[in-house]
Amino acid sequence: MNETLVAQDYRQLVEQFGSPLLLLDKAAVRKQYRALAAALPDVRLHYALKPLPHEAVVSVLKEEGACFDLATNGEVDLVRSQGVRPGRCIHTHPIKRDSDIRYALEYGCTVFVYDNPLELEKFLPYKDEVKLLLRVSFPNPETKVDLSKKFGCTPEQALPLLQLAHAKGIKVMGLSFHVGSQVPHARRHVQAIDACREIMEQAWELGLKPWVLDIGGGFPVDYEGGEFDIDGFCAPIREALAKLPATVQKIAEPGRFISAPAMTSVSSVMGKAHRGDKIWYYLDDGLYGSYNGQLYDHVTYPVSTPLARGELHNSVLSGPTCDSVDVIRDGIMLPDLAIGELVVGRVMGAYTWASASTFNFFPKANILILDSSQKGQKMVAVA
């Protein structure tokens, strides 16, 4: 996006659409999807909507032939509104109300996840319609977002839970796991694949027939803004998957990797003050808005002031709310910024807008859709 959008474009967009903005580049979504699909050629990718549940992302990925990973009724509504066929969707929330199961079934999504006996019970009334994935937990202390703490049975519980489903006449199509988000390397994926392969082999010996392995999400991006070597990252995963029989279907649930590089934040300086030896800038977006991932997602986004020039000063970039925790960066060297000056944040497509609040009544940033692959036509729609 950076090559196509020059600093002056940001100014123009803010003049036209106001501030703060999030610029969503459909070309970046496409590029990320294709890169991961090429790195995992035998794996069917189900985009997890959670990091950026936006119709533009869904429609681009639908065109690309992607599948989708849903977890809530709102996510069901979103894919349905975009005309996604339910057969291309799986519902992966391990904990559901009966009404959630019925909502997804009414749409036509029939694949669900369980990880304990009580959750399995909930499928008894629908046992002729549903196919389940058993989520297994592989705790990962190496990631800041450890998704195996909250969900998943232990590997030891897996076989008994598969047998329990069989005894109740509920079909289990396979195993799934999520080793945590933004993982530093694929080691944990590989360990989990190997462990699941052993569980599946034991299950086959008992006459059970799980035929799917879902390797979850976790695929990382470069939060410095560079190109991430996803092919290199996935090489050990490809090797581990190759040890499974070809008849086993492999699927994944990438979220962050698809959406993170696709959005750029543009916010404006509302006010400034000299406090101590620093210049404080108060922006119209902050930690309660698009930058909330700095709290919840443990990520620091690259920020810049592409239109400002001059000597650098020790500065603070603060959000707009009256809360003192609302500081984006303290001790950043910046040129002197005038009121109205723009601040740009990159790699802000995942776990940003999705989890932003309107605390203090500061509205969430508006998303503008563009397609940087379409020469001469940058702005396509406003959302």
Ligand X SMILES: *Cc1c(COP(=O)(O)O)cnc(C)c1O
Q: Of 278, 298, 68, which is closest to residue 180 (Cα–Cα)?
A: 298
Task: Name the one range near ligand X by CB under 6 A: 22-30, 44-52, 184-192, 272-280.
Answer: 44-52
β-sheet bridge partners, residue 266: 21, 344
Q: Closest distance between ligand X and the C-beta of residue 362, in Å? A: 26
Neighbours of 340 (CB within 10 A): 11
- Applying CB under 6 A, among 86, 254, 293, 349 the residue interacting with ligand X is 254
- Applying CB under 6 A, among 19, 32, 92, 148 the residue interacting with ligand X is 92
Q: Closest distance between ligand X and the C-beta of residue 69, in Å? A: 5
Instruction: Give, for 282, the enclosing helix (H) or strand (E).
Output: strand 278-283
Helix extents (H) in the chain: 7-17, 26-39, 55-64, 73-81, 98-107, 117-121, 155-167, 187-205, 230-242, 256-259, 293-296
Task: Tell me: does residue 214 bind ligand X (CB under 6 A).
Answer: no
Task: Report cis status (omega within 30 of 0) of the bond before 125.
Answer: no
Task: Tell me: does residue 353 bind ligand X (CB under 6 A).
Answer: no
Q: Residue 78 or residue 343: which is nearer to ligand X going by CB?
A: 78
Task: Tell me: does residue 217 bind ligand X (CB under 6 A).
Answer: yes
Q: Closest distance between ligand X and the C-beta of residue 249, in Å? A: 17
d(CA 320, CA 329) in angstroms, rounded, equals: 13
Task: Name the one range near ligand X by CB under 6 A: 22-30, 47-55, 163-171, 263-271.
Answer: 47-55
Query: Per residue in 289-302, is it b (16+ CB within 10 Å) or e — as a string?
Result: bbbbbbeebebebe
In sequence order, what are the residues at sequence separation of 6 or more whose Cβ sits closer than 8 angstroms to the Cβ of residue 6? none
Per the annotation, the verdict on 67 as an active-site residue is: no
Q: Residue 178 or residue 329: which is nearer to ligand X going by CB?
A: 178
Q: Are 6 and 28 in contact (CB under 8 A)?
A: no
Task: Tell me: does residue 45 bind ligand X (CB under 6 A).
Answer: no
Neighbours of 320 (CB within 10 A): 22
Residue ranges in 62-91 that form contacts with ligand X under rule CB under 6 A = 69
Pick the catalytic residue: 67, 89, 234, 322? 322
- Applying CB under 6 A, among 51, 86, 319, 345 the residue interacting with ligand X is 51
Task: Tell me: does residue 119 bind ligand X (CB under 6 A).
Answer: no
Task: Tell me: does residue 115 bind ligand X (CB under 6 A).
Answer: no
Q: Which amino acid is at 196?
A: C
Task: Name the one range near ligand X by CB under 6 A: 48-56, 225-233, 295-303, 365-373.
Answer: 48-56
Task: Name the one range near ligand X by CB under 6 A: 97-105, 184-192, 212-220, 309-317.
Answer: 212-220
Residues making contact with ligand X (CB under 6 A) = 48, 50-51, 69, 92, 147, 178, 181, 216-219, 253-257
Residues with a known catalytic role: 322
